[in-house]
Chain A
Amino acid sequence: MRTVYLGLCALVAAIVSLFPDPAVAAGGGAEMLVVVADKRMVDSEITKYLLDVYNVNPFLMGVWCTILTAALGVTLGFLTDQIMKRTGIDLTSRKIVEH
Chain B
Amino acid sequence: MDWLYMYMPIAGFDIFWPGLVLIGFSVGVIGGFFGMGGAWMVTPGLNILGFPMAFAIGSDIAHIAGKSMVSTFRHSKFGNVDYKLGVVMVIGTVIGIEVGAQIVMWLEALGKVGPVVRWVYVGVLLLIAFMVFYDYRKAVKARARGDVGERGAEGITWYRTLHKIKIPPMMHFRVAGIYCSAWLPIFVSFLTGVLAGFLGIGGGLLRMPALVYLVGCPTHIAVGTDLFEVMISGLYGTFTYGAKGRIEMWAVFVMLCGAAIGAQFGTVATKYAKGYGIRVAFGLAVLACMISIILKQFKYDMSATVLILGAVGAISLYIIIIMVRGAAQELREKKEAQQLAA
Contacts and interface: CB of A to CB of B under 8 A. Distances in A.
Q: Is the interface of B mostly helix, strand, loop or mixed?
A: helix
Interface string B260-288: 11011000101100111000000000000
B198 to A, nearest CB: 9
Contact of A35 (B11, B193, B202, B257): B11
Interface stretch (B125-133, B166-174, B233-241): B233-241
A23 B67 CA distance: 18
B73 A81 contact: yes
Q: How large is the interface on A (under 10, 10 to 19, 20 to 34, 35 or more residues)?
A: 35 or more
A10 interface: no
Given A72-B253, A84-B268, A96 B220 contact: yes
A44 to B, nearest CB: 9
A89 B143 contact: no
Given A21-B94, A22-B97, A76-B70, A12 B275 contact: no
B236 A30 contact: no
Contacts of A54: 10, 245
Contact of A61 (B242, B257, B276): B242
A27 B9 contact: no
Nearest to A57: B243
A1 B238 CA distance: 25
A77 to B, nearest CB: 4
A21 to B, nearest CB: 6
Interface string B52-65: 00100110011111
Interface of B: 7, 9-12, 37, 39, 54, 57-58, 61-70, 72-74, 76-80, 83, 87, 90, 93-94, 97-98, 101, 104, 139, 143, 151-154, 193, 196-197, 200-203, 218-221, 229-247, 249, 252-253, 256-257, 260-261, 263-264, 268, 270-271, 274-276, 327, 330-331, 334
21 contacts: A8-B73, A12-B232, A21-B97, A24-B196, A29-B101, A30-B241, A41-B7, A54-B10, A66-B235, A66-B238, A72-B256, A73-B260, A77-B69, A77-B70, A80-B70, A87-B331, A88-B331, A92-B77, A96-B220, A97-B274, A98-B218
